[in-house]
A and B are shown apart, each in its own frame.
Chain A
Amino acid sequence: MRALEPTLSGFASTTGDMTRIAFEAFGTRDAARTIVFSPSGVYAHSRLWKMQVPYFVQQGFRVVTYDCRGSGRSDPATNGFTPALFAQDTLAVMDELGIARAALVGITWSLRWLGRIAAEHPERVTHLVSIGTFPGMNQTEPYGRQAAVERLEWFLAPSDPAEPITWRADHMLHRYSELTQWQATEDFPEPHSTKAREDLTAWSRETAPETLVASCVDLTVADDNLYLAQIRCPTLILHGELDAAIPVATAHAVHAAIPHSRLIVFQGSGHVPEVRDAERSDLEIHEIIDDRPQSGTTWRRALARREKRALFVSSPIGLGHSQRDVAVARELRALVPDLRIDWLAQHPVTRVLEANGETIHPASALLAGESPHIESLMGAQHELNVFQAIREMDEILLANFHVFHDVASQGNYDLWVGDEAWEVDYYLHENPELKTAPFAWLTDFVGYLPMVGGPDGREAFVTADYNAEMIEQVERFKRVRDVALYIGDAPDIVPDTFGPGLPVIADWVADNFEHNGYIRYFDPADLGERGALRARFGFGEGERVAVAAVGGTSVGASLLRRIVESFPAARDAMPDLRLVVVCGPRIDPASLPQVPGVEYLGYVHNLYEMLAAADAALVQGGLSTTMELVGAGTPFLSFPLTNHFEQNRHVAHRLERYGVPTWTKVSFAETGGDWLAEKLTRLLSAPPRYEDVSGGGARRAAERLAALL
């Protein structure tokens, strides 16, 4: 049985020669729009369109198919086969059914009559679609009149019976069965195409070889008007890249010749994509007929996509995400060798990615700046309420989600990874129907915590409200996060709840995340012998070197200033003390007080090596840098940004469990008088011993991502 039976079938007669053309009409007569599908001539009849008819009827169209003269149920051709006659036949069918205007869809040769109708009777054609297109020999380069004659001579010449089968008269007349089999293989080069090939073979065997030869002769010599440039309706040229019958170059030429045309190339497809890649073809045809905007110019059939593709979105708030994501990406490539990873990222993440030779998606340039926004909200006194900063960033997150959505919906990705990519996670939960690939979510903290106003204050209410929304989203739409990795272990999680009446964070994380363990992106053991490492940076035997560093943003400028100002007193207390200040890419060393004995550096690549070589480090309270120091065993003082909930609560809690003494967490308010001398003396006289940071986190995360691929 067919998927859909015609509502009407019958015959239309061309006024000229009374040849009866068999048609079938599907769907309701009063549909607002009609599509007429034309065969390519006599080789295959109207059943060629069996994959299109039911879809377009479902979509509310009236659909008409017909058999060309000399094939199917239509009459034999008594006056030959010219494009003009085929055009008359098409119009006769439309007239018989009372169709004033229709979209015309055809394959190969049929452009010669459908295009002609569009050019000569523009009032009858709303849209034109030509698949595996061939416009006739005198229309486009490199064909021409002479080529047609030569081709005809070759077509009609007797052949050596031993030569391989091909598309010429001798083989049609004497080796038809073999020819139809060969042709089906030619037309469907896609693997696993047995059904399509058998259908085509069966249909073509319903046509008499003599008829096929006659139509080929007529259509080869027939002179077409130069009609392509006259076509004014929206036109779609759809062509398989592997088309062996008509090279894709012909489609490019036709596209160039028709003013309002769009070309889409199906990569990995052969001559008859509307059969072998019917679903995608139907969608493309539907879009052009609906006048919907078109962006892509190619589509690659699924099984022709050899490489797998992942899209990584790495938060630009803090550099640590990018380094751990690069480590995960490296492990993931080892597990999935054919993987291609595109990064949607912005400064300063892109700096790390570029240094590691990663591929940054060009749409990254469209992202609205998150890091500049955060920096703009910095207080003068080492203060940043990062929750409020993220909350004020709503329009930026939305704009960036739209960029993500465009990239993700066009990129055929097999996996999306978001490392604290808040916009992706939030808006996918708000718009779950936009999710079209597996999504892996990574974060090193869960839960906004209030920093100002006390337990009854506005911030406590709003952070709880945000947490509650996140909990509702995740629990209602479990399908959004295919994998959720907490970058840490259970003891790293703060003892708090999400807010009044809300779950205990640790319990909820246990239910809704996997504990991945920390992701270390370098192994301290790889740094080599300590003396040699120190020598690399010019750190001598008889001196104690403190390195102050504040990451990739300008956020730490006030802290650096305070450290530099306090240095003379510290050196008075410890004459062997040396201070190296790493300003990073966003702070101009000249903007800091120039204190004798302090060395100022700009950006230092792989800063963790220098920090590992130092006797002490002075850093902000971010997770990545402090955990680098824990891993390297370098004693450090950390200076969380005031009102920064993540640094003061989440990170501080985790550091405690790694043996970092609470007194080494220094608030900016404490940095007065002899504070530096006091703190550094204490730190260096009895350096704390930190717990080991276990390795393997990047590998574990990569294994979970690989399982989605």
Chain B
Amino acid sequence: MRALEPRNAGAVVNRHDGVRLHYEEFGPADAPRTVVLLPTWSLVHSRVWKMQVPFLVQRGYRVITFDGRGNGLSGRPPKGYATDDFVRDMETIVDHLPVRRAVLVGFSAGGRWAIQFAATHPERVDRLVLIAPATFMDGSPRVRVTPFTQTPPDRDGWNKYNAVHWREDYGDFVRWFASQIFTEPRSTKGQDDIVAWAASTTPEMLIETVLDSANPRLGEYWRALTCPILIVHGSEDAVIPVSNSRTMAAAREPAPSTHLVVLGACGHAPHIRDAVRTNLVIAEFLETHRPAEPTRRLQHARA
């Protein structure tokens, strides 16, 4: 059973391409603030936020989640996994529910949707929280089309991040990638969850997401944001190095409203593996007008 069941759940269709989007709504409808926990890479679905939903509701927020296209109870179009598509999905959701203004929380690839949405709809974004954002200031995709689509020299390490390998041994890729998300010792539960959620999509859809992941205007959008921003990044992130978030924070200087919190000894999903601390950091950011220091490093208990 879940820790908290949704108050409302349903589906709405993105009228641009007809893709069905399944959403869930938690906490009081008349809460003073709303948090939208965004989809991330279609490898997983909205249960990736299971450690945040009850906490945020307890603190009085209305919380919205929805499954990203390609996973969970949402539609699975053969094509159409660009940032523009995800941003239109967000528009569809917030117009439908409706959500006038919200805190956006994006994890990994979800950072791309969050940034583009916030830049193009500033009046609807209260604050922005990015966890280990997979966002590259030059707008480049994570990998180039070649070698991604060509047979890799071997099947070791990041050579598993390859379309050919996914088609041949998706399970191997998923298990390995889960181990890269959680580099912390004793993380079997987090890894097992990723593997289970990844079973709800197919390598073909994930290949589409990779081929569609460039976003040339990302840096421009990023610098244009005016809302307060929090970035949380684990120092031992093996998927997106923490240096990427440092570069992002630096790209906004001297804007005082960007705060980077580096969680020592944490991997790519601190909101799952170190949920208590991550939740407290997010709550402090949401409930404080002005965090005391722009950059802090928190040491993990294990480190």
Contact = CB atoms under 8 A, between A and B. Distances in A.
Whether chain B is bound by chain A comes out as yes
Interface of A: 59-60, 290-293, 366, 368-369, 372-373, 376, 391, 394-396, 398-403, 405-406, 427, 429-432, 434, 461-462, 465-466, 468-469, 472, 476-477
A460 to B, nearest CB: 12
Nearest to B300: A430
A292 B289 CA distance: 7
Contacts of B16: none
Interface string B186-200: 101100000000000
B82 interface: no
In the complex, the 8 A-B pairs of residues with the closest C-beta atoms, listed nearest first: A399-B54, A291-B289, A368-B3, A399-B3, A469-B186, A373-B1, A395-B50, A293-B287
A434 B276 contact: yes
B302 to A, nearest CB: 8
Contacts of A401: 276
B1 A402 contact: no
B58 interface: yes
Interface string B103-141: 000000000000000000000000000000000000000
Interface in B263-303: 274-277, 279, 284, 287-290, 292, 301
A473 to B, nearest CB: 8
B228 to A, nearest CB: 12
A465 B188 contact: yes
B4 interface: yes
A431 B303 CA distance: 12
A376 B3 CA distance: 13
B149 to A, nearest CB: 34
Contact of B51 (A291, A395, A430): A395
Contacts of B274: 430
A396 B54 CA distance: 8
Given A394-B189, A430-B301, A477-B301, A290 B290 contact: yes
Contacts of B1: 369, 372-373, 376, 396
Contacts of B185: 469
A369 B277 CA distance: 23
A32 to B, nearest CB: 9
Contacts of A469: 185-186
B2 interface: yes
Given A395-B3, A476-B301, 13 more contacts: A59-B292, A292-B288, A368-B4, A372-B1, A394-B189, A398-B55, A399-B55, A402-B276, A402-B279, A461-B188, A465-B188, A469-B185, A469-B186
A369 B3 CA distance: 7
Given A399-B3, A429-B301, A431-B277, A465 B55 contact: no
Contact of B276 (A372, A395, A430, A472): A430
A602 B199 CA distance: 44
Interface of B: 1-4, 50-51, 54-55, 58, 185-186, 188-189, 274-277, 279, 284, 287-290, 292, 301
B279 A462 contact: no
Contacts of B50: 394-395
B38 to A, nearest CB: 19
28 contacts: A60-B292, A290-B292, A291-B288, A291-B289, A293-B287, A293-B288, A369-B1, A372-B1, A394-B50, A394-B189, A395-B3, A395-B51, A396-B3, A398-B3, A398-B55, A399-B3, A399-B54, A401-B276, A402-B276, A402-B279, A403-B58, A427-B276, A431-B276, A431-B301, A432-B301, A461-B188, A468-B186, A477-B301
Given A290-B292, A373-B1, A398 B186 contact: no
Contacts of A434: 276
A289 B141 CA distance: 43
Given A376-B1, A427-B276, A469-B186, A399 B58 contact: yes
B55 A291 contact: no
Contacts of A396: 1-3
Contacts of B275: 398
Contacts of B276: 398, 401-402, 405, 427, 430-431, 434
A391 B189 contact: yes
Contacts of A376: 1
Nearest to B289: A291
B54 A292 contact: no
A contact face: mostly helix, strand, loop, or mixed: helix
B244 to A, nearest CB: 26
A366 B27 CA distance: 12
B17 to A, nearest CB: 33
Most chain-B Cβ atoms within 10 A of its Cβ — which of A368, A399, A400, A465? A399
A406 B189 CA distance: 26
B254 to A, nearest CB: 13
Contacts of A476: 301
A472 B303 CA distance: 12
B287 A292 contact: yes
A292 B276 CA distance: 19
A625 to B, nearest CB: 25
Contact of B186 (A60, A368, A406, A465): A465
Contact of A395 (B2, B58, B186, B287): B2
A402 B54 contact: yes
Nearest to A368: B3
A399 B4 CA distance: 9
B188 A462 contact: yes
A405 B289 CA distance: 23
Contacts of A468: 186
A60 B189 CA distance: 42
Contacts of A395: 2-3, 50-51, 54
A366 to B, nearest CB: 6
Contacts of A291: 288-290
Contacts of A368: 3-4, 54
Nearest to A375: B1
Nearest to B283: A293
Most chain-B Cβ atoms within 10 A of its Cβ — which of A394, A427, A429, A472? A394
Contact of B55 (A290, A402, A431, A472): A402
A59 B292 CA distance: 9
B288 A466 contact: no
A640 to B, nearest CB: 23
Contacts of B4: 368, 399
Contacts of A432: 301
Nearest to A373: B1
Nearest to A374: B1
Most chain-A Cβ atoms within 10 A of its Cβ — which of B3, B276, B290? B3
Nearest to A430: B301
A430 B278 CA distance: 12
Contacts of B292: 59-60, 290
A100 B114 CA distance: 37
A293 B279 CA distance: 15
Contacts of B287: 292-293
A488 B301 CA distance: 31
B225 to A, nearest CB: 21
A366 B301 contact: no
A400 B4 CA distance: 11
Contacts of B279: 402
B139 to A, nearest CB: 34
A293 B58 CA distance: 15
